[in-house]
Amino acid sequence: MQTDVSDVGADRRLADILARVESSLADDLLPVEIFNDVDVFQAEIERIFARTWVFVAHESEISKPGDFVQRRIGLDPVIVTRDGDGGINVLSNYCRHRGTQVCQTDQGNSRFFKCAYHGWTYANNGELIGTPFMQAAYGTPLDKRQWGLLRAPRVESRSGFIFASLSEDIESLDEFLGGAGWMLDALVGMHPDGMRVAGPPDRYHVKANWKTAAENFSGDTYHVPSLHGSMGEIGLAFGLDAGGEFGRPYEFENGHAFLGIAWTEQDPQLEFWGYPPEIKDSFDLSGFDESQTRVVTHDGPIVGTVFPNLSFFRAAAFDGSGLMSVVTSFRQWQPVGPGELEVWSWQFVWNFQDEDSALQDATIGQLQFGVAGVAEQDDTVAWEGAPKAGASAWARKEQMNFHFQQGNFSAIDQSPDPAWQGPGIRRRTGFGEHNQLHFYRHWLHEMQEQRPLNGPTS
């Protein structure tokens, strides 16, 4: 087999960029070109998204046999189905005959998917069950298993969150999540009935790089007073500058990180993020360990990112007329291109809530954190700068770096909290940019294909 000269050139170029990332990260800096580079993006799709565990759906979205949702793993469209046996399947949405997408809708309920092109039909577990004119065209039936839809070889769930990996050779989901799984259990497990999606996700395109969004949600408390300050001025939010002093970053293995806030140190009424009494009184933490109880009662995360592209948000929010809800959203930063992502944003509600209460939470969540949400507009406009800088001939010529030097170069003590009993690392200030650096160090680790995976790297 001949090696294409252009492939060698691209590999060399990518290796040079990653070497520069490595040396920059040693100084808590990051080269601009990784936010808008075709070779970097292609390698992310192959080395990260086609290999690691990627969130694909919440179990509440496919609760009944036949339910399906159309999702993505990197750039690949996949169908996530609940088959007749109750099993969960993550199937490639490319017909094995000529590649037409066999499922053209975002969600629904069906026992089969029929390709529109020539009519091959697949069961909702992926098996090929029908080929038109089979006798006349082929003479004998095609092997149903051999010609079924491609299946993600690994599919596992944690606390209702379904993840898939396109690589057989990967640790279990629980091992991959580590402390982030422990945190997810706490965030959605404060009532034994758990949480569900309030509806399908909002989806919208942003001219930003997926990493900027994931990094922001890993714990960028620094931007809040500046970028979201206007939300405080018009009464949609409070305590916007508390995240620095009261920030409590949590850092887990494999690039996962969350940012808690010491809510009750500011105001005892902010126990459980400030949930109203009728909700708070229903919580049941009997299955929690001591650290989980402490976290959700006093130091609950406002944001978090499960590497690579699933993020969490929970905070008190207002509708502008005095109604307040504590809203929960999960969002996924779908890579589209080096300088473009698609945001998928779900509002979550508690299963024990009555309809009115759930609707209020979902509505206020969408008002502020949905497609037209105030906070989203603040964030997404700001994020558009990084890929523009990354594409700038001037910035590249100057080998411009982004600045992540609040941490190891700061005179402030940001060492891990020695009293922390939970998994991973916890710090006692929201400043430091440690979570963001942790995300990028793991990103580099994956891009340089340095498996097996390791623990917190910073």
| Residue 376 found at the interface with Fe ion (CB under 5 A) | no
For the chain, how many helices (H) and strands (E)?
A: 16, 21
Q: Applying CB under 6 A, which part among 95-103, 182-190, 265-273, 334-342 lies near ligand FES?
A: 95-103
Q: Applying CB under 5 A, which part among 57-65, 133-141, 275-283, 376-384 lies near Fe ion?
A: 376-384
Q: Applying CB under 6 A, which part among 34-42, 80-88, 118-126, 408-416 lies near ligand FES?
A: 118-126
Tokens at 285, concatenated? 């933490």
Q: What is the spatial distance between Cα 236 and Cα 133, in angstroms, rounded to a whole number?
A: 62
Q: How many CB atoms lie within 10 A of CB 283?
A: 18
Cβ-contact 366, 373 below 8 angstroms: yes
Nearest residue (CB) to ligand FES, 119 versus 141? 119
| Residue 13 found at the interface with ligand FES (CB under 6 A) | no
Provide, rounded to whole angstroms, the least separation between the CB of residue 142 and ligand FES.
Answer: 11
| Residue 111 found at the interface with ligand FES (CB under 6 A) | no
Residue 308, phi-psi category: left (phi > 0), alpha (psi -120 to 50), beta (remainder): alpha
Nearest residue (CB) to Fe ion, 251 versus 379? 379
Residue 272 in 3-state DSSP?
helix
Q: Which of 379, 446, 453, 457 touches Fe ion (CB under 5 A)?
A: 379
Q: Which of 13, 98, 111, 403 touches ligand FES (CB under 6 A)?
A: 98
The DSSP element (H or E) to which 57 belongs, if any, is strand 54-58
| Residue 120 found at the interface with ligand FES (CB under 6 A) | yes
| Residue 115 found at the interface with ligand FES (CB under 6 A) | yes
Residue 6: alpha-carbon gap to chain centroid: 33
| Residue 95 found at the interface with ligand FES (CB under 6 A) | yes
| Degrees, nearest 5: CA angle 230-235-237 | 75
Cβ-contact 335, 207 below 8 angstroms: no
Q: Applying CB under 6 A, which part among 93-101, 134-142, 159-167, 182-190 lies near ligand FES?
A: 93-101
Nearest residue (CB) to ligand FES, 93 versus 334? 93
For residue 98, the partner it binds in ligand FES, Fe ion, none, with Cβ less than 5 to 8 A by kind, is ligand FES
Q: What is the spatial distance between Cα 395 and Cα 277, in angstroms, rounded to a whole number?
A: 52
| Residue 97 found at the interface with ligand FES (CB under 6 A) | yes
In angstroms, the Cα distances linking 64 to 87, 151, 162 are 10, 20, 15
For residue 379, the partner it binds in Fe ion, ligand FES, none, with Cβ less than 5 to 8 A by kind, is Fe ion
Q: How many CB atoms lie within 10 A of CB 388?
A: 15
What single-letter amino acid sits at 394? Answer: W
Provide, rounded to whole angstroms, the least separation between the CB of residue 220 and Fe ion.
Answer: 7
| Residue 361 found at the interface with Fe ion (CB under 5 A) | no
Phi and psi at 243, nearest 5°, equal -65, -25
Q: Contact residues for ligand FES (CB under 6 A)? A: 95, 97-98, 100, 115, 117-120
Using CB under 5 A, list all residues that contact Fe ion.
379
